[in-house]
Amino acid sequence: MAQATEQPVAPVVVCLPGIRGDARIFEPLTAVTGGRSFVALDLPPGAPALAAARLVPHLPSGPLHLVTGSFGGLVARFLPQARIASLACIGTLPSPDHLDPAMVRRARLLLPLPDRALERLYARHSRRSLQHEGLPDALIHRLVSRPIPAAVLRARLRSVLSGYHGQVPPVPVAWIHGVRDVQAHWSPSELRQAVGNVHLMEVPGGHFPHATHPTPLWSSLERGWWSTIPSHPSPPKPV
């Protein structure tokens, strides 16, 4: 029985959002993807390892180019490595060593609050930060109108503060830095020390360039980063 020649399979782009877990933050990218297979997924509840396990059944088949915002980059570290063609992290912490002290203080003040107060205050904080970043008003309204349940937010915040963020998978990795991202408290040398061999990319915008500057971000990925990565071959099929 002869085997068919292996044909390259173009990876599907899968986008994972940050700590809010809301995939709609990637909506601005949908207009600039040029027909490439593209899926944005909400994050399931739980710390990164549990969220990743719950996410696996919802992943499209075949190899994946993962594009992750902040907390989503921690979830990606626990997905099956054999599925990942590349990982592009937008504003993700390289390691807990680079936690912003101000963010740590805010999180520790928020965690003990009653559920309704936590949800209300975090929604207010989200609106302010998204407005400061320059997201479209209509998108901000949709994101903030679906508050994160207190239990889900606590689990995510605690996992960020826990000191264990998992290991970056041994796949081609790009670290994307918005030039106005005030949450990125690490230098290129510190990033490489924490992550190893990594491709650095700077794009316009801040912590959410996928929502504020989708065209230059997508161009950097499509024409730059992904063009350097071989496609995964499909498994041979009997004929």
Q: Measuring CA to CA, which residue among 12, 23, 10, 26 is closest to residue 65?
A: 12
Q: Measuring CA to CA, which residue among 166, 110, 137, 145 is closest to residue 20?
A: 145
Q: For each of the domains in the chain, give its residue range(s) and CATH number, in order of start.
A: 11-227 (3.40.50.1820)
Interatomic CA distance for residues 3 and 152, integer angstroms = 48
Strand ranges in the chain using DSSP code E only, listed in sequence order: 8-9, 12-16, 38-40, 64-69, 84-90, 173-178, 199-203, 232-233
The pTM score is: 0.91
Instruction: Give the CA distances from residue 224 to residues 39, 44, 194, 228, 233, in Å, rounded to whole numbers and listed in that order.
Output: 20, 31, 24, 7, 21
Burial class (CB in 10 A: 0-12, 13-18, 19+), 87: buried
Average pLDDT over residues 203-222: 95
Instruction: Please report the pLDDT score of residue 137 as a whole number.
Output: 94
Instruction: Please report the pLDDT score of residue 232 as a whole number.
Output: 55
Interatomic CA distance for residues 16 and 72, integer angstroms = 5
pLDDT digits (tens, 9 = 90+) for 99-141: 888 889 989 999 999 999 999 999 999 999 999 999 999 999 9
